[in-house]
Amino acid sequence: NISKLKDQGSIMHSLHFFIFAVVFSKTCGFQPPEFEKCDVEDDKHWFCKKGLQYFDNFCDQDESKAACKQTCNLCNGPPTPPPVPKPICGVSKVSQSRVVNGEDAPEGAYPWIASLQIRVAIENVKSHFCGGTLIHPKWVLTAAHCFDFGNFSMNAIMPFIHVELGIHDQDKEESTSQLRNIKNAFESPDLGVKDGTLYGDLLLLELDVPVMLNDRVNLPCLPDKEEYPTIGQSCVVAGWGIREYPSEKTGGILQQTRLPVVGPNHIGCHSNTEVICVGHGFGTQANGKQHPNACKGDSGGPLVCQQPNGSWKFVGVASYVHTYCKYYTAYAPVGKYLPWIKEHVPL
C-alpha cells in the first residue's frame, strides 16, 4: 500500500509538473500566480519559491531548469517594472531638454504662470508688471514687493489690478485667456530686509472667481515643507519681463530660460535657507553674448524644476530681480513658507 501511495504521489507530481509546464511554457511577462515570488540566482535561472508543495523548489533540479526558464524566468529577463503613474500636477507640454536659454516658450508650456496687470478700462490699456503662480483654482502666489506702489495703498490700487491666466502672447487676444479680479491679499508675516536680502517676499492673492482648470490653465506640483532644490540643479524660469536692458517693454510672448541653482554669497543672494539663488551673473555664453537671466517684470514669477516623472515642481518665487538683467536672481523658497500658505489656501 505504501508503495502504491508513493507511485500515485510520483504520478501526481509528474502530472502537476506537466500541466504547469504546458500552461506556462508559452507565457511571458508576468509571474505565475501559483507562486508568491520568483528569486533570481547566480546562474540567472529564476527559481520559484514558497509555491504549492508539489512545485516547491522543483526548479532546483538540473533536469527541470529548461522548463523553469519557460515559466519562472519571464522570458530570461527581469520582471517588467510597473508603469510610472501619470502626474496629476505640474503637467506641461515642454520637457526640460527643450528649454533653450532665452527663447519663446511653446504655447501652454507653463499653464500655472499668471500675469499681473494694471488695466485701465476706459482706455482699454493693460500693462504687465509682475508674474505669479496658480497654486489653487482660486489662489495665486506672487512677490510682495510687486505691490509696493509708493504712496498708493494696496487697497487703493487693487481695483486696477487684474490676474490673467492661460495667456501666451500678451499682444493678442487669446481665447484661452481667463481674467480675474483680486478679492483679498495676504503678505507673508516674515516679510523684511536683513543683510541686504529681502526675506519672506511672498504675497497670496485670492481671486474673485475660481479659474477653470484645463490644459492651458493648471497647477504645478508643490514642494514638501523645507524642500529646496540642490545646488547645481538646472531649473527653469519664465515670464513676460523685459528681454534686455535698457528696454522697458514688458509683455509680448512668454519667454523661458534654464538657469542653474547656485550657492549663497552672490549679489542679492546671501543665504541658502532664506532665498534660492539662480543664474549666471555676469557670465557670457560661447558666442560672447550675455547669459539670459530673470529681468525686470519677471518678479513674482515661478522657478520650476522638472521631476523624474516629467512633472514640474514650483520651488521659488522671483524676489530680487535686477534691472540690468546681469545679476543673480533670488527666489523666495516655497517649501519654507508652505505652512503659512496652507493657513490660507486649502491645499
Q: From the candidates 92, 299, 311, 319, give the one annotated as an active-site residue.
A: 299
Give the three-class secondary structure for 339.
Answer: helix
Task: Tell me which residue of 101, 345, 118 sits closest to 219, measured CA to CA.
Answer: 345
For the chain, where are the E strands, in sequence order? 37-40, 46-49, 103-104, 113-120, 125-136, 139-142, 161-165, 178-187, 192-194, 197-199, 203-207, 234-239, 255-262, 276-278, 302-306, 312-320, 329-333
d(CA 13, CA 97): 57
- The yes-or-no answer on residue 299 being catalytic is yes
Cell of 241: 519681463
Q: Quick check: 290 and 279 in contact, CB under 8 A?
A: no
Residue 91 CB coordination number (10 Å): 18
Q: Is 145 an active-site residue? A: yes
Q: How far apart are CA 205 and CA 137, in angstroms?
A: 11
Answer for the pair 125, 119: CB distance below 8 angstroms, yes or no: yes
Verify whether residue 201 is a known catalytic residue.
Answer: yes
DSSP annotation of 195 reads T
The answer to whether the beta carbons of residues 188 and 201 sit under 8 Å apart is yes
**Are the C-beta atoms of residues 113 and 131 closer than 8 Å to each other?**
yes
- Catalytic-labelled residue, pool 45, 201, 319, 322: 201
Alpha-carbon distance of 305 to 145, in angstroms, equals 24
Active-site residue, selected from the candidate residues 145, 162, 270, 291 = 145
CA distance 194 to 98: 38
Q: 115, 169 in Cβ contact below 8 A? A: no
The residues carrying an active-site annotation are 145, 201, 299
